[in-house]
Chain A
């Protein structure tokens, strides 16, 4: 699947060079930064997910963002089970880097899925992908979505956010805290590249921009897909397994 803005790996690039491509080129902005600012946004997709969460108890919810006390409180407070798995952070593990036949440094998607998303088939009622597909390295995106299809129950909801073409490569990577039925708090995500001190934390870089056809292809095995266009250059996508 050809995607505009896709990350192309240079054959002579070292492992550390490739890992650094996940981050913004300027580290100065991260150095000495204070507490990340939190913004709020209304989410139509989250509103639909909340309707499901409010109608039943004991659902299994997979949150694929950074660990969030807010989200755990929101979901467990409604009597659901919360599963946390920060796949973007896991995908930055340098141990996943291997060399392909041409000597290029690539991510080992098989090893990645051996170590992550290890759940029984048809386990989850709700999966919150947030903006993971936009920031995860391309070779992992489709295998991850395929695995999610397997671990979701038929009829389960998956919510994902995709940037529109108006978003530039330096679009801030946010984590999302659920603060109400259709309200989210956004907080900038920063990671220290592997082997670097915490003082060098940087925001992950937008890897690509999916168009509607790419998104439909990505979720072609799912039963239905619904788009919500927001004002902040984000398309919310609600997919039913």
Chain B
């Protein structure tokens, strides 16, 4: 997902700064600055290349292209793109990390019942 999700989902532009708690029942694309907590349950969060997120995140899927500082709890998958700079802990079932991504923190891959938990590059 190199470009923002179009048509569906919410979009926080790069000039927007939000401090506080965000929750929703649709996909969210953040290219601005968010500090606090993000809860999307069955939806996905994408941090765009200009995005700066300092938050604890709970979502179905999380894709990071920008800067992220906090914890990620994704029930399905996490993708760290080559421009991602992530400081914090990641808990998920699947993780994909592109060459060039930076991660400082813990990765805990929790296996689905009866399946192995892959991480891919």
Please report A residues at the B interface, Cβ cutoff 8 Å.
Answer: 66-70, 72-73, 76-77, 79, 81-86, 89-90
Contact = CB atoms under 8 A, between A and B. Distances in A.
A72 B104 contact: no
Given A76-B119, A77-B118, A82 B97 contact: no
Contacts of B111: 79
Contacts of B80: 67
B104 A86 contact: yes
Contact of B105 (A73, A79, A84, A90): A84
B103 A73 contact: no
7 shortest interchain CB distances as A-B pairs? A69-B121, A76-B109, A73-B119, A69-B97, A67-B103, A82-B107, A84-B103
25 contacts: A66-B102, A67-B80, A67-B101, A67-B102, A67-B103, A69-B119, A69-B120, A70-B121, A72-B95, A72-B97, A72-B107, A76-B107, A76-B108, A76-B109, A76-B117, A76-B119, A77-B109, A77-B117, A77-B119, A79-B111, A81-B107, A82-B106, A82-B107, A84-B103, A84-B107
Contacts, number: 54
A135 B106 CA distance: 24
A79 B108 CA distance: 9
B116 interface: yes
Interface of B: 80, 95-99, 101-109, 111, 116-121
A83 B117 contact: no
Given A69-B119, A73-B121, A77-B117, A85 B104 contact: yes
B106 A81 contact: yes
A79 B80 CA distance: 21
Given A67-B97, A69-B97, A72-B119, A83 B105 contact: yes
A2 B120 CA distance: 43
B73 to A, nearest CB: 14
A67 B96 CA distance: 12
Given A76-B117, A76-B119, A77-B118, A69 B96 contact: yes
A172 B106 CA distance: 28
A162 B42 CA distance: 48
Contacts of B116: 77
Nearest to A83: B106
A203 to B, nearest CB: 16
A189 to B, nearest CB: 12
